[in-house]
Amino acid sequence: MNYTLNQLNIFYKIAQNQSITKAAEELHLTQPAVSIQLKNFQDQFSIPLTEVVGRKLYVTDFGKEIAAAAEQIIHQVQAINYKTHAFEGNIAGRLTISTVSTAKYVMPYFLTDFMDANPGVDLVMDVTNKAKVIRSLEQNAIDFAMVSVLPDHLKINRVELMQNKLFLVGGTSRSRPKSYSAARILREEPLILREQGSATRNAMETFLASKDIQNSKKLELTSNEALKQALVAGLGYSIMPLIGLKNELGNKDLEIIPMRGLPIITHWNLIWQKSKKLSPTAQAFLDYIEAQKNEIIRDRFDWFEKYN
């Protein structure tokens, strides 16, 4: 047998995703390239690693055993790389972060310079909704989480990063009578909400309840990008974070509709469990954040402070 580390990694990703297409996307390769490597890898075994049933790929029991072995080998290689960097006096290791979906517009700016300065660090960042972020934190599956609403059932440490502002927003392409107040818009125009478990949805529903506003015309979308495009298309209105709207507001595709009680202001927080023993890599990142956060906010988010 003469399989390569690259083939092991490709097969491991195929087994993880149960899909050649998804594995190719993760690896930033073309689907034909992944298929060729899978065939070359398979040719070295007399027992099938995968099978296709009804156009769907399945990993065989033998394939699962090989995938598990491949995972161990890949982790050992990573450990060797980390140790090499460590002996050279560099920060090296795995940094795992889970963020709520709207934080994807914020978190990368707090990572860029740290990652550039520490090439031995491997970053894994999961972008999902609040419920899944907190679950990852509870299960000790991550180093840090980034949220705007703190979990009240966990003992956590935190670093407050920057404000999160939520405004009433609509698309400029949607026509409405000029006499409509913001409250009337929320009562009579279609409202677009995020899915259950989203902190943005919770904030919007809490605000509507505080104003005793009810509306039966509701649409639900499961991503911030989808919601934003729905607003641009004129499907309705929503209360959503300013942070992801820079280009659409600048292009005048969206507009902020003033209303008393808005914006809702919370703060983005980098959080971790108090009981967690941070790895040297995670501690180095935390030290970097505490030292550089004010400069990052000033340099990268000056536009954000103009909206109040």
Q: How far is residue 259's CA from residue 213's CA, in Å, rounded to a whole number?
A: 13
Nearest to 233 by CA among 219, 243, 216: 219
Q: Which domains does the chain have, with CATH numbers?
A: 5-86 (1.10.10.10), 91-162+267-306 (3.40.190.10), 164-266 (3.40.190.10)
For the chain, state the CA radius of gyration: 23
pLDDT tens by residue, 169-224: 999 999 888 888 999 999 999 999 998 888 889 999 999 999 999 998 999 998 88
Predicted confidence at residue 86, as pLDDT, reads 60
- β partners of residue 93: 121
When pLDDT is averaged across residues 251-274 and rounded to a whole number, the result is 95
- Better-scored residue on pLDDT, 116 or 55: 116
**Per 3-state DSSP, what percentage of the chain is helix, strand, and coil (rounded to 5)?**
45, 25, 30
When pLDDT is averaged across residues 140-159 and rounded to a whole number, the result is 93
Burial of 32 (0-12, 13-18, 19+ CB in 10 A): exposed
When pLDDT is averaged across residues 222-234 and rounded to a whole number, the result is 92
Residues 6+ apart with CB under 8 A from 235: 171, 174, 190, 192, 219
Q: How far is residue 50's CA from residue 29's CA, in Å, rounded to a whole number?
A: 20
Q: What are phi and psi of 144, to 5 degrees?
A: -135, 155
Q: Where residue 88 falls among pLDDT bands split at 50, 70, 90?
A: low
User: Which 3 state secondary structure label does DSSP give 160?
Assistant: strand
Is the separation of the CB atoms in 178 and 284 below 8 Å?
Answer: no
Angle at 127 between CA 65 and CA 30, to 5 degrees: 55
Q: Which two tokens stand for residue 182?
A: 């913001």
